[in-house]
Amino acid sequence: MNATQRRRHIALLRSTGFEDSPALTVQSTDGEIPQGRELSLSWLSGTVMTGLTSVLLMGAALYVSFQGQDTFSTAYAALKLAAPRIDQPLATDLTSKTSRLRPVAATRSDKEIIEAAIRQVEDGREIIRNQPFTRIKATLATTATSLSADVPDYDPVAILNKTQPLTAAVLDIATDVYGTDVDGEVAVKTADMPMGFVPTRAISDQGAAEFVRGMAEATFFTEGPSPALAYASVAPSLADLSIAGASLVGVAENVTVVPKKLMAMEEGLGRTERFLTVRTLGPLADTLVRNGFTPMQVQMVEGTLANLIPASGLPEGIRLRILYGPQAGQQNSLVPYRMSIYRPEGAPGDRHIATVALSDNGQYVVGLQPDWQEFPEEDVEQINVGNLPTIYRSIWETGRKHDLDNETIERIIGMYAYDVDMTKRISAGDTIEILQTEPTPGAKPELLYVGLNLGGTTRQLYRFTNDEGVVDFYDPAGETGKRFLNCRPLEGGGTLRSRFGYRIHPIFKTRRLHTGVDLAAKTGTPIYAAGDGVISYYKWQSGYGNKIEIEHVNGYETAYGHLSRFVDGMGPGTRVRQGQLIGYVGSTGQSTGPHLHFEIKINGNLVDPLSVKLPKDNVLAPRYREEFEETIAQINDLMARDPAPVSVAQAQ
């Protein structure tokens, strides 16, 4: 390129804005505005920060949209779906991927009607007639919904009133249940036997002896059980078991069972999903109410599904998939986020029928089908372990799901409140069984039996009526669930802050024996007598502040420390009954906050109030033992019977 061409080329570049200048520098402060050859660090950092901020904002928006959503609905207009009826197939793609499963527990929720022949006395005549009974076998609810949102707070003292023996029972079930049904009514008449009547021998003593001798000779050289000169089987002794090398099975005492954490425990309630089957044809509202929908929510769902579900309700075999989650303002209850309805496997048409979901404004609208997941054969619930309710709340939820009245649920809780810590969370798979009479126009249902299985341990209580007409519930050993002393004798039960045993004293910072348990509660919370007794100490004591001591029978004593004030009119020598108000929670004496310091002594020795085995308050008299055994056998027979061929109701 010659000089003329070079000058012409440079002129052309300059006309386009090219500048023949030194290399770029970082001296951006030399001019007011960075020029083409200058690099501004402030401008560059501002640009980078703007980009990073945009990325963070976009990421947060996407996270909230896809992970932190509180509803699972799509506007009906956006779906552009027709309104097919339940008998019209939908063109739905079922090949979408399956979402990851949460811990799953099989659920059972059977409410059945069974019949048995009972004996009743009417107008001086004994009549045997068929009596219907309601039998419930259910898994304890693992999700707390609106069904139990209004239950009273747990108060162990108030439960005392629910465990008192009953009188004037409507139906005396004890020893009056027969093993077979009868047609119509059978009148029972009794008459004296003739003096000369001798019943025919079924077997002679000589024949029985020869039979046993022959069995002994036949089994002498064989391995097997040895015969016994008795007509009932004999349990092997401990010596026999130890010789045979058999392992002994016992009950572990003072052992706390803590389930493994299947997932991270959440601060608040998480989501859980329920899969269930509609067993019998019935209104949609009945199914919704039993699964935590409020009456207002039921109306919204029925209105949304008016063109999709027949007026008669859900047919038998229809499968439901319900997703629950927390709602603002409801700390202890979950609400249904989404419900999907599916046809039974093998039915014509696509499996998915319809889905309703909760929208942002609190309305239930038609939603998209969730990711497909195969329905298990049995009803199950995908559990969020952070959602598991307390035993107290779960019994309420389960009872209301099966249409038990509040009085019956309160009595069931009261029957177990002395042996079971109702404030603990249930474990997945815990169950309850209930037997009660069917209601009649002139009588309400009568509770006959409750079996509660918690953590693999079953506690059974059977109804029994003594000769005085007093009705109470006893375990197979003939003891009631009511304890001699209440181990948490204050309103609400308090919060356990410090256990019995050696600890570092919170004030003196030295290792000392803590002689009781500390149950924290607000100042002024009522304190009650743990059992019947006589007040022996009723004043200030160093360290304990305001203190009360009560002497009970058989060498038992209880003490109550740090009270804010006493109840007027009491003092040493005052006789009190279990559950009677004696003082109020405070923080007097050597205390770091309001709480009740509660102690138990047995024959002058301090014991752990929360682990000591206390005697039962009521034990069945020995003379009733044989009759009670018959009652146990009869009730067990009812629990094992097949349900009646008609009038079977499934509570799902």
> What DSSP string runs through 279-298?
-S-B-HHHHHHHTT--HHHH
Query: 342-352: per-residue pLDDT in tens?
Result: 888 777 777 88
Q: Are residues 311 and 376 in the same domain?
A: yes
Q: Where are the beta strands (DSSP E) in 447-491?
A: 447-454, 457-465, 471-474
Instruction: Work out the pLDDT band at 433, boundaries 50, 70, 90.
Output: very high
Residue 179 has pLDDT above 60, yes or no: no
Most confident of 126-140, 169-183, 459-473: 459-473
Query: 84-130: per-residue pLDDT in tens?
Result: 444 444 333 333 344 444 566 666 667 888 887 776 666 667 777 77
- Give the pLDDT confidence score for residue 527 in this predicted structure: 93
CA–CA gap between residue 360 and residue 362 (Å, rounded): 6
In a domain, 213, yes or no: no
Q: Are residues 405 and 447 in the same domain?
A: yes
Q: Of 474, 506, 534, which residue constitutes the final position of a domain?
A: 474
Instruction: Work out the pLDDT band at 209, boundaries 50, 70, 90.
Output: low
Neighbouring residues of 624: CB distance < 8 A, sequence distance ≥ 6: 464, 466, 478
In a domain, 631, yes or no: no
In a domain, 572, yes or no: yes
- Amino acid, res. 532: D
Angle of the 406-416 helix axis to the 391-401 helix axis, nearest 10: 150
pLDDT mean over 198-207: 65
Pick 329 or 94 by higher pLDDT. 329
Q: Are residues 547 and 464 in the same domain?
A: no
Q: Are residues 416 and 345 in the same domain?
A: no
In a domain, 378, yes or no: yes
CB atoms within 10 A of CB 2: 7
In a domain, 5, yes or no: no
Most confident of 39-43, 360-364, 437-441, 570-574: 570-574
CA–CA gap between residue 162 and residue 327 (Å, rounded): 33
Query: 240-271: per-residue pLDDT in tens?
Result: 433 334 444 444 444 444 444 333 334 456 77
CA–CA gap between residue 546 and residue 540 (Å, rounded): 4
Q: Of 363, 383, 403, which residue constitutes the final position of a domain?
A: 383
Q: Where is average pLDDT lowest: 56-60, 316-320, 370-374?
A: 370-374
Q: Are residues 290 and 368 in the same domain?
A: yes
In a domain, 454, yes or no: yes
Q: Are residues 549 and 456 in the same domain?
A: no
- Give the pLDDT confidence score for residue 331 in this predicted structure: 64
- Give the pLDDT confidence score for residue 483 in this predicted structure: 72
- Give the pLDDT confidence score for residue 546 in this predicted structure: 93
Q: Are residues 375 and 419 in the same domain?
A: no
Q: Are residues 169 and 80 in the same domain?
A: no
CA–CA gap between residue 576 and residue 565 (Å, rounded): 17
Query: For residue 291, what is the domain's CATH number?
Result: 3.10.450.350
Residue 59 has pLDDT above 50, yes or no: yes
Q: Where is average pLDDT lowest: 29-38, 105-114, 293-302?
A: 29-38
Pick 209 or 78 by higher pLDDT. 209
In a domain, 327, yes or no: yes
Q: Kind of pairing, strands 575-576 and 605-607?
A: unpaired
pLDDT mean over 385-402: 87
Query: For residue 412, what is the domain's CATH number?
Result: 3.10.450
Pick 269 or 140 by higher pLDDT. 140
Place of tokens 């290792």: 511
pLDDT mean over 534-540: 93
Instruction: Work out the pLDDT band at 558, boundaries 50, 70, 90.
Output: very high
CA–CA gap between residue 320 and residue 375 (Å, rounded): 9
- Give the pLDDT confidence score for residue 452 in this predicted structure: 93
Q: Of 571, 588, 607, which residue constitutes the final position of a domain?
A: 607
Domain that includes residue 276, residue range: 76-101+270-383
pTM for the structure as a whole: 0.58
Q: Are residues 394 and 415 in the same domain?
A: yes
Instruction: Work out the pLDDT band at 30, boundaries 50, 70, 90.
Output: low
Query: 441-491: per-residue pLDDT in tens?
Result: 777 888 999 999 998 889 999 999 888 888 888 899 888 867 778 888 898
How many structural domains are present in the chain? 4
Q: Are residues 421 and 449 in the same domain?
A: yes
What 8-state DSSP symbol labels residue 25?
A: B
In a domain, 262, yes or no: no
pLDDT mean over 593-607: 90
Instruction: Work out the pLDDT band at 574, boundaries 50, 70, 90.
Output: very high
Instruction: Work out the pLDDT band at 501, boundaries 50, 70, 90.
Output: confident
Residue 425 has pLDDT above 60, yes or no: yes
pLDDT mean over 627-649: 74
pLDDT mean over 140-159: 81
pLDDT mean over 586-597: 90
CA–CA gap between residue 398 and residue 394 (Å, rounded): 6
Neighbouring residues of 177: CB distance < 8 A, sequence distance ≥ 6: 116, 117, 118, 634, 635, 637, 638
Residue 611, φ and ψ in degrees, nearest 5: -125, -15
Q: Are residues 408 and 467 in the same domain?
A: yes
Query: 357-379: per-residue pLDDT in tens?
Result: 888 888 888 888 888 777 777 77
pLDDT mean over 622-642: 88
- Give the pLDDT confidence score for residue 118 in this predicted structure: 73
**What is the pLDDT of the chain when averaged over all its residues?**
74
Most confident of 68-82, 145-159, 503-517, 598-612: 598-612
Q: Are residues 353 and 393 in the same domain?
A: no
Exposure b/e, 239-271, CB count within 10 A at least 16 = b: eeeeeeeeeeeeeeeeeeeeeeeeeeeeeebbb
Instruction: Work out the pLDDT band at 206, boundaries 50, 70, 90.
Output: low
* CA neighbor of 527 nearest in space, from 596, 610, 590: 596
